[in-house]
Chain A
Amino acid sequence: MTEIAISGYGVICAQGLNYEECKKNIYNSPKGPLKPKRFETPNIDFPIFDIPKEIDFIFSKPSKEFNVFLSTLMALKCLEEAMEKAKLNLNYLKNKNILVSIGTTIAITLNDFNFHKEYILGKSPENKPFERFLKSNPSNFISNFLNNLNCKPITVATACASSSDAIGIAYLALKEDEKIDLAICGGADEVSQVNHQGFISMKIYSKNPCKPFDKKRDGLNLGNGAGILILEREENAIKRGIKPDIFVAGYGSYQDGFHFTHPHPEGKGLEKSILKALSFKKISLNEIDFINAHGTATPENDITEGKVIKRLFPEGIKFLSTKGYTGHTLGAAGAIEAIFVAMALKEEKIMKNIGFDEMDPEIGLIPVIKEEKVEKRFALSNSLGFAGANSALLFERKR
């Protein structure tokens, strides 16, 4: 059976600008959300998980010269880190057939507030934001950056499940399409006036650090971030001197078809996605060590996910949400969390679910509240999104 290895990974979020920084902060001194400062808003009491500092250089070039959205810039920075870890260079990639599968929500929309404002007030705004919008499509941009005619770009837009789906598509491609040598996959997203104000107007944005699965949870916090993974067949990675230890082992994605924003109350799409992901390895539910839940800390999401976890998995299954470290990074969440799952499997310790104090009787489950040891080989990561999107990724650790 073809094994799909994660041979490289790069991550940016509120905990750091690379994997090592994130790991150090997640396990030792996690950073919290701050007042939004990148855009104009009267709602400064609704905090965001911003990246800790600006990105100066990418591939030795000043980041400003790329002139793309922050999301796309973060994706490129993560690619630099992922390539370094996978021992890849641009020359090597030029001869390869690469699938570039990136998920996002904001990097494919024009959210430039001043551009809109000038236009709506009858002025003639400079067209640069529009041109940046056309240029920033993340998978197109990365394919162009790699200058590789054999790149297949796919930008996946399934809302907050985007990057889990992008990774899932890359996994399927490496399993099914012999012509694909490797995949650059993941996601990138950023907070803008639209999503910040949008979630506030839906009354599911918390003024406090979010509390996934807690009884007193009152909404999410948004975050900026990106995660990029290099996936390839195990034997290819070994040929380059990499000994992969974490693998993508399954993937499922199903639509709820229930509501525009709310998940199906019984989590039907999520359940199908989880079972499909497990079917690739033909493993049973009790072989899963832990679940990285979507866990946005909105009342509804956590109830639905809790119901599915309770219904499907053995009592005492370990689960957590990492939104307390990153905020909800929307189209990047699945990718960042895939890297966190890989981190937990590598370190053999599950990070704690920040923000949980008291069990919600409606959920009836307690997440991981202090670091716990990983004892089994498999872990699962869930993503849910607007428009009824659900997806699940299965990960495996090998020694």
Chain B
Amino acid sequence: MEYGIIDFVGLSSKGLGKDAFSFKLKKEDISFMEIKSEIFGKKSLPFFKANIDKLKEFYSLKDIRRLDKYARIVLLLSSEILKNINQNEKEDMAVILGTSYGSFKTNCDFLDTIILQGFEYASPMLFTGTVHNSPLAPLGIFQGLRGTSYCISNFEKTFSSSLYLADLLLSSMVCEKILLIFADEISDLLLYGFSNILKIDEDNIRTIPQEGGCAFLLGFENFILPLKKINDFLKERQKNMENYGFTYYPEAFELLINLNKIDIK
């Protein structure tokens, strides 16, 4: 039996939607994050910040106050793509969350507390967010997703690993539908680390780290692109590398952009 992509959505500095990565990025899309170091002094480094304003349309701020931005990105993408899916379908839906840095920022925040305030001030709440799969908890709690759930973190192999796993779960009938999400949050220490190994240049979009992500709903019925044809689909399409910044999974954004270009009947 064949299976493929049923629906898709992206989240970028331009907000949430199928077309989140469908436009060339401009200088005004760049956000800045301050880093402090002996070498740089106080310096602002550029990144493409995800606009998660729409989350408040789905949840009250009180309900999500404990979530870090990484989890909020995942929750927003999933809430949008699943908004017309009924609870029965969601109950056994599998989730594959692909990420490059995962909980990097929350992990830093936890360490910062220890360093600046002392070990006795370590926050148990922050600690619970230091595992890469932490967004899977709110997906279960708020979206009722209780199927087989994975978080995959392989840097440049994140897309291919996650896609392979999705193929495996569907072909072995572990589930009938999969929510496949790619998500990352950018933090200052991450920018500092990258600024030492690649020149982050405001005038070169491809060097500016990208925050945000995209989600795909996969299943056996009403799909618009068979899973087995994704790689061929991407090979045949023009690249859109001016539409997103530095990411370890450009294939995911290319897929999203090109799916948005095709005429879906």
Contacts and interface: CB of A to CB of B under 8 A. Distances in A.
A253 interface: yes
Nearest to B125: A260
A292 interface: no
Contact of A155 (B103, B152, B192): B152
Contacts of A117: 115
A339 B102 CA distance: 29
A225 to B, nearest CB: 18
A177 to B, nearest CB: 7
A256 B103 contact: no
B146 A194 contact: no
Interface stretch (A66-74, A120-128, A341-349): A120-128
Contacts of B174: 172
Contact of B124 (A109, A120, A202, A387): A202
Interface in B87-133: 95, 99, 102-104, 107-108, 110-112, 114-116, 119, 122-124, 127-133
A137 interface: yes
B157 A153 contact: yes
A257 B189 contact: no
Interface in B144-184: 144-155, 157, 160-161, 164-165, 168-169, 171-172, 174
B230 interface: no
Contacts, number: 200
Interface in A322-346: none
- Which of A108, A130, A173: most chain B Cβ within 10 A? A108
Nearest to B174: A172
Interface stretch (A8-16, A156-164, A357-365): A156-164
A130 B193 contact: yes
Interface centre among B39, B123, B150 (most CB of A within 10 A): B150
A157 B122 contact: no
Interface in B48-92: 66
Contacts of A154: 152, 154, 161, 164-165
Given A120-B112, A134-B155, A109 B103 contact: yes
Contacts of A203: 124
Contacts of B112: 116, 120
A121 to B, nearest CB: 8
A258 B111 CA distance: 27
B146 A255 contact: yes
A260 B95 CA distance: 16
B168 A176 contact: yes
A3 to B, nearest CB: 16
Contact of B111 (A113, A156, A159, A165): A113
B140 A120 contact: no
Given A122-B37, A387-B133, A176 B172 contact: yes
Contacts of B38: 122-124
A173 B174 CA distance: 12
Contacts of A165: 150
B132 to A, nearest CB: 4
A110 B147 CA distance: 30
Q: Tell me which of B38, B111, B139, B146 has the highest count of chain A C-beta atoms within 10 A of its own C-beta.
A: B111
B264 interface: no
Contacts of B153: 108, 137, 155, 157
Contacts of B102: 108-109, 157
Interface in A75-115: 105, 108-111, 113
Contact of A157 (B127, B152, B189): B152
A175 interface: yes
Interface of B: 36-40, 66, 95, 99, 102-104, 107-108, 110-112, 114-116, 119, 122-124, 127-141, 144-155, 157, 160-161, 164-165, 168-169, 171-172, 174, 189, 192-193, 196-197
Given A260-B134, A388-B136, 11 more contacts: A109-B107, A116-B115, A119-B37, A130-B192, A130-B197, A154-B164, A157-B133, A194-B130, A202-B128, A386-B131, A387-B133
21 contacts: A41-B119, A43-B119, A105-B132, A108-B132, A111-B111, A116-B115, A130-B192, A130-B193, A134-B155, A153-B161, A155-B152, A156-B151, A157-B99, A157-B132, A158-B136, A176-B171, A198-B127, A202-B127, A260-B128, A386-B128, A387-B133
